[in-house]
Structure 1
């Protein structure tokens, strides 16, 4: 409810978009709490590998937010998922701390997609002495194989984010390693068209960017 209150009390709501003219996912999620008379503005955070455009966007966002706050406004920067986990908001926060250290900032935590997916599927993420590792899905088969071998040796459960096109080669690899039956697939968690299902039920192929996989290595010896 803290996030809802912040939105309702804001004088300006800034939402991230990948391209000009878009309505971002964060804005669509928050739209039910935004009043018609509230000022809204989108800010472009380009999804590119080159560092300069991204750094420029973070600095510009920090300057925008700090300028509005110094003018006496309550400002909200929306974020998809948790604002501290693989989030654009984290880069803006670092830029604010560097460029505008006197600007008052509050980060409101959200529910990560892997936690929401686990809850919806009644899937315990970690028990007793389980280790739990959260990481973006590796870009190639070799990197995933090394990660999976290490996780198996250490008994680590995995949450792999941003599956997208990687699901084409990841699903066959999971099957080869005997992990497919121990995995939960989820995409667009929290949306009306979300998919949360055993990974065995999801055919190989390209999936949306907002997709993830939970892998359980084993169960503890002591269980109810």
Structure 2
């Protein structure tokens, strides 16, 4: 059951991370983040960090463009990393799970920093290049991607907690088995064998026959008497 719960968490994490990549790709690759009202030409232009606009000088949006490329690459690599973990191509250790948490949280923080920097650039250019601007729905998908990245990091932490509980339970079961084996071995080695009580020695009823050779050697009583009478006479 513990193994199934870990697999379920991994499946949900992969689902969330894949949607984070989809929303990020939609939000970044569409060239219609902002509608800008230009007073001098009385026109409305679309703008995003990906297109080279004549509104900002060359190189103003280069930093934001590079940061978005890094974010998109990290998000793709994170999904690939989760796929390797789900298919057991890489071991599910604490170091691997913490690497996944760091990767998705760093991607979310970097994307949030990029979007805030873009908003700062828009406010700075409002008093210089155009009169007003308003955001479109495409940039909101990038914020949804940030939410999914942090949610994926939360599920990775939950996976780490379940893996640690699983390893702790396995270690306790192994220690319990070792202790029981040691007790059995110690009990069998110190087993006391009781000896039967000694019965009192009874006097033997059977008489041991004497050696006939000794009896033949000793003279009988009648012969001794006859010799004494003969000697007396």
TM-score scaled to structure 2, two decimals? 0.22
> Which structure is higher in helix share?
2
Larger radius of gyration: 2
> Which structure is higher in strand share?
1
Higher relative contact order (CA 8 A, sep 6+): 2
